[in-house]
Structure 1
Amino acid sequence: MDQKIKLLLLRYFSTKYFSALISGLLLTLSFPETGLFYLAFFALVPFFVSIRPLTSKESFYYGFIAGFFHFSTLIYWIVPTVHVYGGLHLVLAISTLILFCFYLALYAAIFAFFLKMIDPKSWVAPLLVSCLWVSLEYIRTYAFTGFSWGALGYSQYENLFLIQIADFSGVYGVSFLIILVNYLLASIWTSFKNRQQKKTLIPVVYTLILVAGAGFYGNKKIITIDSQIETAQKTAITVVQGNIKQNLKWSEDFKAKTIRKYIRLSHAESKTADLVIWPETALPFYYGLDKPLSDRVDQYIRSAKTNFLIGSPAFSSDENKVKFYNRAYMLNQFSIVTGTYDKTHLVPFGEYVPLGNYLTFLGKLTAQAGNFSMGDKTFIPLKFNDHNLKVTHKTGVLICFEILFPSIASKFVKNGADILTTITNDAWFGHTSAAMQHFSIAVFRAVENRRAIARAANTGISGFIDPKGEILDTTPLFTDMAITRQLPALKQISFYTRYGDVFAISCLFAICMVFMLKGVRKKF
């Protein structure tokens, strides 16, 4: 009897929320590594159609189910990451994923709840729904330290024509158009079903204009940026992928082997490079403190006669406290440190424990990485010269998780960076799709700021992206490799770099004003 009840409940749940599950799955399939980015443009159609007859309360649950299923299938890699490398028991690892997806699903639930306050028959409904979605994505980017992974626009990193609008709107403009198309398609389906086709005429017209306008803008921008790339100064950059296994990375016996490996991989490529980049914490020791290993690195740099950007843990101390940092060192051809950057946006529970004095039981998550402190937020680019010592370039360095935050890249470019670099250790992700998801986010930082990006990852994916977001070269996962590329150093400042998230903030302001006016009308 109990088995029959369970089957009936399961059948009821799967039938009632079938469209929510379908939309959640289609959203996930639009992200790397499936290559099905076009699914994003109709993934939410079943969701929008099914939610129409529901109450606000029912819509909240419906949105939650869709969001939970989407995020649990998109960031499933959290389980092996915290289980294999964080040392958590499998049950706790799965619980971590469930709790995190619960939080992320609340955004979809809130979206569905407020969606019911928008009149679907209004000709501006698709625009308001798109504004609502963008507003919540913007909030998610910065709320509670921020986590913008899975923002809808990131699914389009291969859609070169569409993503050019990011130099004005950021990734949010791409998300806006995706939601606009989804909601319009759902409206057309509903209107045909109810034989009220004329009501969708105006939304169809302005959606076609906006999408076509984005395509036209993208085409013109690609031509313009290609022209600028052709005449721009170039700098040769090498990224080195050491492919050091995470379980060996901090081993005392393996430190010398790690240095020898990076030197061997760098040797052939460094002869032509103006800058050689080693990944995040490539040096598994405190550079400058461990004298024999530091001297070995310095000797090689002097023999290579070029600049090196190297990731290493670092620390500072005073009478009361020792602070640890996730640092990038810029060393010139004489192995002199010409600049450093300490990571400012740390990974919660990965690099530090929030409220660590009270949550000491969570310390195990940060056992290998340490409990880092934030660097200062001046975002001063690091300088390096070309081989002839005639041209000085400046690079903004984003370490790992920082690539998720558009404002960090923009601040570096505002301060004079003509190249962006990102160094990371993605060994934690194993062979999951997380590595490609992480890489794809960098495409938008390139377009937003019109800067080429060099990416050095311990186990991959390393590579190069040009200022229009085109991926020039990549390395396979878990391969020992070094690649070199001539990158253009553009000087122009984009609208997005100069003014930031004006588009997203305008969407937030617009939707707040609409709901306020609706509230005032009801009151009076």
Structure 2
Amino acid sequence: MNISVFSVAKKNLLSFVGFVLSTALLTIIQLPFGVSCCAWFALVPFVLAIVWIEKTRTAIFISYIISLVYWLVNIYWLGFSAPAGWIVFCFFLALYWPLLVVTLRYCFARKVPLWFALPILIVGTEALQGWFFKGFAWRFLTHSQFKNLELIQIADIFGAAGVSFIIAMVNGLIADLIIEFKQRHPPSLKLWRTGKGAEASAVAEAMADRQRHKEFSIFNLQFSIFSLVGIVLAVSILSTAILYGRYRIVQAADFVSPGPKIAVVQSNVAVKAGEETIPAEVSFIDMLLESRRSLAIEPNLIIWPETMVETVLSDDYLKLLGQDDTARIFHNALVRHANEGVYVLVGSFAAEAKVNDDNEIKLGAKYNAAFLYEPNQLTPRQNYNKIHLVPFGEYIPFKKSLPAFYKFMMALTPYDYDYTLDPGDKYTVFEMKAGEKKYRFGVMICYEDTLAKVARRYAYPKQIDWLVNISNDGWFVRQKGGKIIPSTELAQRAAISVFRAVENRIPIVRSVNTGISCYIDSLGRIHDDFLAGNLPGKAMDRIGVQGWFADQILIDRRITVFSRIGQRLEITCVICLIFTAFLSIYRSRNQKSEFRIQKSEIRLWTVNYEKQKFMYFCYNFVYRLLLFRGGC
């Protein structure tokens, strides 16, 4: 075997192992494993694999395959509701690693320190994932650190991306130091074959290694300076972040005041498209019973999960119904419940209704909505219609622009009909009273809590005192023998919500079907204890169970830098990422064109050489022929 061929294969194998190792580390840093310390070096094998692999195309191919497996394994729960859509979505998510490969190799080739390039590219890639196609802000580096209270406080300046930036910088620095060490201490080359040919090849390869090492000697000296700068910067930034976090935690006591008592109802119903796992009436009665149990502690507000009142509660629709209609029965029960002296926030549907010429009720625009039932009111005066809909879950894109593609995407959904909801157009600020005090709060429905811009829209200027997240995560659990089997999605969602609280210094109360319902304060602490309730005391254990809890929230008066400026860090990193990607593509095309020119020049030189060789042959033939005749 040719030694050089073996060397390439060996590098490709090591790179493959590096990608796999990073995949494993990136998996265990997130819940339910929660080995968050591994996040500080999880990307190192990935970076080394990118740098050491021979060809960019090979790196792109391997990274895409490994990334695809990573997403298929780690968001397996999407397959519970839409198996085909889960697979297609994973094929899309897997594209981000090849993007990192192209841009990171370009930066490394230009001798840009990895401690500088990696955080920019990682944050840019995470931001694209969180924005493109309505966004999927999931499994970011920052989410692994949700328990690291001192570190995550910088999110109130830079957002959650600031934490990812620091983690990626440390990863890049470690990779820089390893590469520098390897360049200074190249491994001895072993002879895999004996014999003269093998030895000659080995010597040639070893000499090439030494030559490369010699060429890198000046580069190593420069890079050592860069590494020293990287170490100083990384230590300084990390230390500053921790000190700032401690300061903000201590400072909170001067700005936090007690708020109202809030009770949260958690249902435990698996949801499956086209099937009724439990009758809507039974589910409603179960939640109403849990809700009334919480009245013993005299809460000011009771919160129910998203869409668990399975009907339309819009006033213009209810007016068209008889008293025996299910929607009317649900509504009347909620009015009576609120008249017990408590505000009740429920997740349901809103719709524009009218009667046609045949005296039939027709629904127009339909919304995923939250309604607030108030004491001594016959109808809910305040409601919020969800603005940011989930693609393929609440609507199918391209219905008008690409009809053929729309039909294809419909085939990937769990429905056999057009279930499209309409987006709302207003961020409703709900108002309520608790004693003599007035309070305001906002509602994020379902995955809106994963989008930083939604929480920020409520937070600045400081319009609200707290945020509510109602969600129906029953789509992402399984039911076996009447028992709910939770998925990893439940805990990961709760971890993501932590950063919305810290970014804006606004407490968040979550009411989630199947879990995890909890209270998160403005420092990002998920509270385990509560004033009263029958749910498990530890918040992360509230999965696959039904019940309620009540707690008194703490209101934070601070307005954050992030609330004022938004996701500036992410925007900057995305611009740098896209610019680097274009430069890489441009450079690649130029290299190909130069290679073609070189090939054409070589081909032309070869043709000229062959012509000269042929002319010489003809001249020599004629000369010898004449010489032969002259001799005769």
Is the TM-score greater than 0.5?
yes
Q: Which residue of structure 2 lines up, in the alignment, with residue 88 of structure 1?
A: none
Cα shift at 1:79: 1.9
Output one character per residue of 1:42-77: Cα deviation in whole Å (capped at 9) or x when no partner.
Answer: 111111122213333233224323422332222121
TM-score using structure 1 length? 0.87
Cα shift at 1:495: 0.8
**One-letter amino acid of the structure 1 residue matched with residue 291 of structure 2:** S
**CA–CA distance in structure 2, aligned partners of residues 360 and 279 of structure 1:** 32
* Of 16-25 and 514-523, the range deviating more from structure 2: 514-523
Aligned residues: 497
Residue of structure 2 aligned with 1:153, choices 121, 125, 142: 142
Aligned in 2, Cα 1:80/1:321: closer, same or farther, shift over 3 Å?
A: closer
**CA–CA distance in structure 1, aligned partners of residues 167 and 544 of structure 2:** 34
**CA–CA distance in structure 1, aligned partners of residues 65 and 71 of structure 2:** 10
Cα shift at 1:80: 2.3
**CA–CA distance in structure 1, aligned partners of residues 526 and 143 of structure 2:** 14
**One-letter amino acid of the structure 1 residue matched with residue 346 of structure 2:** I
Residue of structure 2 aligned with 1:312, choices 348, 370, 376: 348
Secondary structure at the aligned position of 1:281 is classed as coil
Residue of structure 2 aligned with 1:421, choices 460, 465, 468: 468
Output one character per residue of 1:272-303: Cα deviation in whole Å (capped at 9) or x when no partner.
Answer: 21110000012112225322221122112212
Secondary structure at the aligned position of 2:45 is classed as helix
**CA–CA distance in structure 2, aligned partners of residues 369 and 38 of structure 1:** 45
Secondary structure at the aligned position of 1:143 is classed as helix
> Sequence identity, in percent?
28
Q: Which residue of structure 2 lines up, in the alignment, with residue 328 of structure 1?
A: 370
**CA–CA distance in structure 1, aligned partners of residues 586 and 420 of structure 2:** 49
Aligned in 2, Cα 1:248/1:350: closer, same or farther, shift over 3 Å?
A: closer
Aligned in 2, Cα 1:354/1:240: closer, same or farther, shift over 3 Å?
A: same
Q: Which residue of structure 2 lines up, in the alignment, with residue 379 of structure 1?
A: 427
**CA–CA distance in structure 2, aligned partners of residues 183 and 171 of structure 1:** 19
What are the equivalent positions in structure 2 for 1:130-145 lying under 5 Å apart? 130-145=119-134
Q: Which residue of structure 1 lines up, in the alignment, with residue 305 of structure 2?
A: 279
State whether structure 2 residue 378 is matched by structure 1 residue 354: no
Output one character per residue of 1:334-387: Cα deviation in whole Å (capped at 9) or x when no partner.
Answer: 2442311001111111111223463346265246994211011x313111111x
**CA–CA distance in structure 1, aligned partners of residues 349 and 418 of structure 2:** 9
**CA–CA distance in structure 2, aligned partners of residues 238 and 459 of structure 1:** 16
**CA–CA distance in structure 2, aligned partners of residues 489 and 26 of structure 1:** 37
TM-score using structure 2 length? 0.73
Residue of structure 2 aligned with 1:403, choices 421, 437, 449: 449
State whether structure 2 residue 564 is matched by structure 1 residue 498: yes
Output one character per residue of 1:70-93: Cα deviation in whole Å (capped at 9) or x when no partner.
Answer: 3222212122232xxxxxxxxxx2
**One-letter amino acid of the structure 2 residue matched with residue 383 of structure 1:** E
Cα shift at 1:98: 3.1
Aligned in 2, Cα 1:252/1:504: closer, same or farther, shift over 3 Å?
A: closer
Output one character per residue of 1:471-514: Cα deviation in whole Å (capped at 9) or x when no partner.
Answer: 01326112121101111122322111111011112223455667
Aligned in 2, Cα 1:259/1:514: closer, same or farther, shift over 3 Å?
A: closer
State whether structure 2 residue 490 is matched by structure 1 residue 435: yes
What are the equivalent positions in structure 2 for 1:147-296 lying under 5 Å apart? 147-195=136-184, 198-199=224-225, 200-229=227-256, 232-246=257-271, 251=276, 254-270=279-295, 271-287=297-313, 289=318, 290-296=327-333
**One-letter amino acid of the structure 2 residue matched with residue 265 of structure 1:** E
Output one character per residue of 1:199-218: Cα deviation in whole Å (capped at 9) or x when no partner.
Answer: 42221111111111111111
* Of 272-281 and 467-476, the range deviating more from structure 2: 467-476
Residue of structure 2 aligned with 1:465, choices 496, 509, 520: 520
**CA–CA distance in structure 2, aligned partners of residues 240 and 346 of structure 1:** 24
Secondary structure at the aligned position of 2:94 is classed as helix
**One-letter amino acid of the structure 2 residue matched with residue 278 of structure 1:** W
Q: Which residue of structure 1 lines up, in the alignment, with residue 337 of structure 2?
A: 300
Cα shift at 1:433: 0.4
Aligned in 2, Cα 1:70/1:517: closer, same or farther, shift over 3 Å?
A: closer
Aligned in 2, Cα 1:384/1:127: closer, same or farther, shift over 3 Å?
A: same
Counterpart contact for 2:15–2:48, Cα < 8 Å:
no
State whether structure 2 residue 400 is matched by structure 1 residue 339: no
Secondary structure at the aligned position of 1:310 is classed as strand
Aligned in 2, Cα 1:245/1:160: closer, same or farther, shift over 3 Å?
A: same
Secondary structure at the aligned position of 2:370 is classed as strand
Aligned in 2, Cα 1:226/1:368: closer, same or farther, shift over 3 Å?
A: farther
**One-letter amino acid of the structure 2 residue matched with residue 17 of structure 1:** F
State whether structure 2 residue 555 is matched by structure 1 residue 489: yes
Cα shift at 1:126: 1.4
Q: Which residue of structure 1 lines up, in the alignment, with residue 81 of structure 2?
A: 81
Cα shift at 1:198: 3.3
Output one character per residue of 1:221-244: Cα deviation in whole Å (capped at 9) or x when no partner.
Answer: 111124322xx1411111101223
Counterpart contact for 1:239–1:277, Cα < 8 Å:
yes
Aligned in 2, Cα 1:470/1:38: closer, same or farther, shift over 3 Å?
A: same
**CA–CA distance in structure 1, aligned partners of residues 492 and 287 of structure 2:** 26
**CA–CA distance in structure 1, aligned partners of residues 122 and 273 of structure 2:** 43
**CA–CA distance in structure 2, aligned partners of residues 248 and 366 of structure 1:** 6
Any unmatched runs of 5+ in structure 1? 1-9, 83-92
Q: Which residue of structure 2 lines up, in the alignment, with residue 22 of structure 1?
A: 21
Residue of structure 1 aligned with 2:414, choices 341, 365, 381: 365
Secondary structure at the aligned position of 2:171 is classed as helix
RMSD between aligned residues: 2.9
Counterpart contact for 1:351–1:366, Cα < 8 Å:
no
Counterpart contact for 2:270–2:475, Cα < 8 Å:
no
**CA–CA distance in structure 2, aligned partners of residues 214 and 373 of structure 1:** 42
